[in-house]
Structure 1
Amino acid sequence: MNILKILNNNVAVTHDKMGQEIIVMGKGIAYQKKVGDSLDQQSIDKIYSLSNKDAFVKFQELLSEIPIDYFEVADQIINYAKLTLGKKLNESIYISLSDHIFSTISRYKEGISLRNALLWDIKRFYADEFQIGLKALQFIKESFDIQFPEDEAGFLALHIVNAETPQETQDIYRVTKIIQEISDIVRYFFQMEFDEQSVAFFRFVTHLKFFAQRLISGNLHESESDTDLLDVIKEKHPNSYQCVGKIETYIKNNYQYNLTNEEKLYLTVHIQRVVHKTNS
């Protein structure tokens, strides 16, 4: 392996056996070396091979700007998340998570801390990812001797959520906010607290996630379902349908969107299920 580019003393760009560019990381791996020099493969601790070319370039830029320690703890968190969730994560998380940890710790050293306004909802709607966020706080404590509050676990959890979907982190915040808003309308309308361990609640939140994702992306339903079926559901579950009316007004006033009959139908059904399960 010959050096193609030196990012810092601990990181370099080279080729793998297939001729693909890769990033290699190791303590002092590029110290006192220059482009074209060979690398000591025994000194390589980590290899990154990102298929997305744009992400690969951004990752190189970030590696040249921040210390290796932040990437190491981010990698530890990402591997734990993959193992826990049993799924692949978008490659962009290596960039976003490393940068986030670096920025958060930099703010901490300046005496600046941020409150997470969505913490309660992140705990409810992204429970698995939040548990990973809590574990991530342990990794950060072990590496930097800094103990962050649960607010930071929530921020870290959203990076995991973002890596599970093609959405931007900003969109994840907006999706969570919409779920929160609709859930609050239902809770206040029925004067109840959800049974958040129930399958009905899980289905309800899943439905809201997909609706919120469509709402912010503009990819909303155009077709109308059978009006007769909606009339049947409306008559069968009048309270849940009235609640949907409140949701419809809120969405129209705040997001300039009119719910279709199909959306009102499914919302009524999901609300009826979650309310019935909670009350029983």
Structure 2
Amino acid sequence: MSGGREYRIERAVGNNVILTVRVDTGKEYVLFGKGLGFEAKGLQTIPGDDPRIEKRYRLDDKEEAGRYRLLLEEIEPESVAIAERIVERIREDMGIPVSPKVYFALPSHIQFAVFRLHSGMEISNPFLEETKLAFPQEYAIAAEAARMIEEAFGIPIPEEEVGFLTFHVHSAAGELSAGQLARRTKLMAEMIALIEQEGEIAIPRRGSDYARLVMHLHHALDRLAEGKSATNPFADEIADKFPEMHRIAALAAEKMEKELGLPVGKNEIGFLAMHVHRLLEAYRQGDN
């Protein structure tokens, strides 16, 4: 066994995670593996080629390492344990690897949510409907996670909190953090409110039209974030034929550009104008 490949065990974080220091470099690492934390208890080191290690995450600077250490000191074991059960459920249901950071972000979120609920603080989530529509699979897993938390802590979990858990479920399997997802969902809600205000309509939140609009905005934001562009051969024709709808779509696009710091092309605006046209036709006629 090479001493340079050994990790000194600093602390077990639940059953599947350990905080370590690589012996030869002194760099701090978080090691992940099923049962790794449980089996590491009582040991001083673990070899780098241990087959139980599924993933390793290096804490690149002292500030980051200190932040994780402080986080670990503040998180209760019950929050870590329930978070591990939820992460395992995410892995099983979605069939993809999870981000190492979820092992820290999720228990921290659970502990704070339980504290707020125990303290009688209201949890408000104005973007719940958008969250449920944009992330249906993640929401279903979050609902199961909420039941786990209820059983573990003996406290009812409101639907609003399920919405926030949904962000962590999606973040566990993606590149965006829960905070970024929350901001994106807020942006979608603000764009829809703008469309309603400018178009002088009200779209029923439980209807299929609202669901289609949310999904369109969700995919549009994904395309912009990934640097992809939509192809719309009718973009110029739509702008000429439906100037009011195009104006409203352009205002929504400006909001997107400001939030993302990315340009929104005429093709994307054209597609959104088509949705706006259909909505205005449906709901303005409904008022007559």
TM-score relative to the length of structure 2: 0.66
Stretch of structure 1 that moved more, 108-117 or 138-147? 108-117
- Contact 1:196–1:202, Cα closer than 8 Å, also in 2: no
Alignment of 1:38-53 (within 5 A): 49-53=54-58
Q: Which residue of 2 aligns with 1:241?
A: 246
Look up the match of 1:210: 222
Deviations 1:89-132 (A, max 9, x none): 32211111011112222344444443223223322322332222
**Aligned partner of residue 52 in structure 1, secondary structure:** strand
Asked if 1:173 corresponds to 2:173, the answer is no
User: Are 2:14 and 2:80, in contact at CA under 8 Å, matched by a contact in 1?
Assistant: no
Q: Which of 130, 136, 150 lines up with 1:121 in the alignment?
A: 130
Report the number of matched residues.
256
1:25–1:106 Cα change, 3 Å: farther
Consecutive unaligned residues in structure 1, runs of 5 or more: 38-46
Does 1:193 pair with 2:203? yes
Query: Once structures 1 and 2 are overlaid, which stretch shifts more, 245-254 or 257-266?
Result: 245-254
Q: Which amino acid aligns with 1:172?
A: L
1:42 maps to none
- Do the aligned partners of residues 155 and 167 (structure 1) sit closer, same or farther apart at CA in structure 2, a change above 3 Å counting? same
Q: Aligned match of 1:75 in 62, 81, 84?
A: 84
CA contact (8 A) 2:188 2:214 kept: no
* Matching residue of 2:236: 231
The 10-residue stretch of structure 1 (248-257 or 104-113) with the greater mean CA deviation from structure 2: 248-257
Provide the residue aligned with 2:272 in structure 1: 267
**Counterparts of 1:36 and 1:229 in 2: how far apart (Å)?**
64
Contact 1:71-1:98 within 8 A present in 2 as well: yes
CA contact (8 A) 1:3 1:34 kept: no
* AA aligned opposite 1:152: E
Partner of 1:134: 143
Residue of structure 2 equivalent to 1:25: 37
Distance 1:48 1:111, change over 3 A: farther
Identify unmatched segments of 5+ residues in structure 2. 1-5, 22-28, 47-51
Give the one of 100, 104, 109 matched to 1:100. Answer: 109
Asked if structure 2 preserves the Cα contact closer than 8 Å seen for 1:198 and 1:277, the reply is no
Residue-by-residue CA offset, 1:143-189 (whole Å, 9 max, x unaligned): 12121211211111111222333223322122111111222233441
Question: Match of 1:5, as an amino acid?
Answer: I
SS at match of 2:11: strand
Q: Summarize deviations over 1:67-106 as a string: whole Å, max 9, x none.
A: 3322221121122223333433322111110111122223
Give the residue type in structure 2 aligned to 1:155. Answer: F
Q: Structure 1-normalised TM-score?
A: 0.68
The residue identity in structure 2 corresponding to 1:119 is L
